[in-house]
Amino acid sequence: MVLVFLDHADGHIKKASLEAMSYATKLASQLGTTAEGLLLGTVEGDLSALGQYGVKKVHQLKQESLNSLDAQVYSKIIVEVVQLTGAKVLVFSHNVNGKAVAPRVSAKLQAGLVAGAIALPDTKNGFIVKKTVFSGKAFANISLNTDIKIISLNPNAFSITTADGTAEIVQLQVTVPPAKVKIKSVAKSSGEIPLTEAEIVVSGGRGLKGPENWGMIEELAKLLHAATACSRPVADAHWRPHNEHVGQTGIVIAPNLYIAIGISGAIQHLAGVNRSKTIVVINKDPEAPFFKAADYGIVGDAFDVVPKIIEAVKRLKGVS
C-alpha cells in the first residue's frame, strides 16, 4: 500500500497534497496496490470527496491539537500508522512541513528517502527515483533498496488528476504523544495566493527603483490571478516583505509561469526559480544574465513595457 501524507492549513488540504495524491495513485497502480491518505487534524468539507484524487481510504486522527505542525509528534504518529497499515511506500510533499517530517520518519523506520522527486519511479528496474540536484542544474536517479520507501514530491512537479470515486474514512485510535513545542502566536504572510502554491508568479527587482512603483506589479498579478514575489536586494531594502523573497536563500518555487521584471538574474535567484515551466524576463539591459535562462525575453524599460502588458491583458479579459 502507498500512504500519502495530507498536509493542510486553515481547514483546507494544500494543493501540494492534491498533487501528492495523484502521484501516489499512479505509483500504486504501477506497484499493483492502492493509495491511501493520512490526515492528522481536522479540515473543512467532506473527506470522502478526496477519493476523486485516487485514494481509496483516508486515515484520520481527528484532534484539534494536530492542526499545528509539531514535527516530532507527527513523525511518531506516522511511524505507528505505517506499522498498523503495513504501508510500504510513503509520499510526502517536499514543502516546509514535508521537509520537517519525512526525514524524521525515515530515520525512525530505517527507510530510504528521496527528497524532491520530480517523476514517478522506474519500477521495472528496481525502484529508481529521479530528482533535481545542485540547485536544479542537474538530475540524479536514486535507487531505493529498503523495505519501506519514502518519497517527497516537489511542488508543481506532477499534475493533479481527478476521476469519479469516494474514499472510505477510517478514524484512527492512536495515542498522541505530548508536544514539546508550544505555539504562542502565528503571523500569517500577506497575499491571496501562497507563493509555493501559485501557478503564476509576478516578481520584481531593483529595476523598479523603489517600493512606490510596485503598484503595476500588484495590478498585473491581480489580473493574472498570480502571486507577487521579489529578489533578495528588494527584500533586504525593505521594499517588500521577506516572505516574498524567492531564490536560493529565500523561497524556492516552481510555477507554470514566472514573470521577472527588473531582475538581473543572479545565480542565487535563478537557483530558486529555475524549475518554473516558463520564464518571461523583462529588463532594459540586453546583457542581463536572466535572458540566458528565459523562455521569452523583452528588452525594454519596465515602466514602458509592463503598463502595455496590463492594458493587453485587460483587453483580452474585457476588463476596463
Residues 215 and 115 both lie in one domain: no
pLDDT tier, 29 (very low <50, low <70, confident <90, very high otherwise): very high
pLDDT of residue 181: 81
Backbone CA torsion sign across 176, 178, 183, 189: negative
Across residues 116-138, what is the average pLDDT? Answer: 92
C-alpha cell at 215: 503598484
Domain presence at residue 226: yes
- The predicted pLDDT at position 182 comes to 82
b (16+ CB within 10 A) / e for 14-42: bbbbbbbbbbbbbbbeebeebbbbbbbbe
Looking up residue 31, the CATH number of its domain turns out to be: 3.40.50.620
Percent of the chain residues past pLDDT 70, beyond the cut: 99
Residue 149 and residue 37 share a domain: yes
How high is the pLDDT of residue 184? 83
Is residue 216 included in any domain, yes or no?
Answer: yes
Average pLDDT over the chain, rounded to whole? Answer: 94
Per-residue pLDDT averaged across 247-260, rounded? 93
Place of cell 528588452: 299
- Beta strands 200-204; 227-230: pairing state: parallel
Among 18, 190, 3, 203, which Cα is nearest to 95's? 18
Q: Where is the domain boundary, 106, 138, 171?
A: 171
Output the CA angle 172-173-179, nearest 5 degrees: 95
Place 189 in a pLDDT band, splitting at 50, 70 and 90.
low
Is residue 145 one of the residues assigned to a domain? yes
Domain assignment present for residue 177? The answer is no
Residues 6+ away with beta carbon under 8 Å from 17: 4, 5, 6, 7, 8, 93
Query: Residues 133, 202: one domain?
Result: no
User: Could you tell me which residues come within 8 angstroms of residue 35 by beta carbon, excluding any fewer than 6 positions away?
Assistant: 1, 2, 3, 4, 21, 24, 25, 27, 28, 54, 55, 56
Domain containing residue 82: 2-171
Which pLDDT score is estimated for 90? 98
User: Where residue 193 falls among pLDDT bands split at 50, 70, 90?
Assistant: confident
Same domain, yes or no, for 20 and 56? yes
Last residue of a domain, one of 132, 156, 171: 171
Per-residue confidence band for 137, with pLDDT thresholds at 50, 70 and 90: confident
- Domain tally, the chain: 2
pTM to 2 decimal places: 0.87
Which of 171, 206, 240 represents a domain boundary (last residue)?
Answer: 171
| CATH number of the CATH domain containing 278 | 3.40.50.1220
Residue 54 belongs to some domain of the structure: yes
Whether residue 182 is contained in a domain is answered as no
Identify whether 236 is part of a domain: yes
- What band does 19 get if pLDDT is binned at 50, 70 and 90? very high
Is residue 190 pLDDT above 70, yes or no? Answer: no
pLDDT of residue 191: 60
39-48, 173-182, 227-236: the lowest-pLDDT one: 173-182
pLDDT-derived band at 287, boundaries 50, 70, 90:
very high
Confidence of residue 14 (pLDDT cuts 50, 70, 90): very high
Given a cut of 70, whether residue 174 has pLDDT beyond it is yes
Residue 278 lies in a domain: yes
Rounded to 10 degrees, the C-alpha dihedral 19/24/30/31 comes to: 170
What is the C-alpha separation between 305 and 282, in angstroms, rounded? 8
The whole-number pLDDT of residue 192 equals 67
Q: What is the pLDDT of residues 50-107, one digit of tens each?
A: 999 999 999 999 999 899 999 999 999 999 999 999 999 999 999 999 999 999 999 9
Residues 202, 123 within the same domain:
no
Per-residue pLDDT tens digits for 197-206: 899 999 999 9
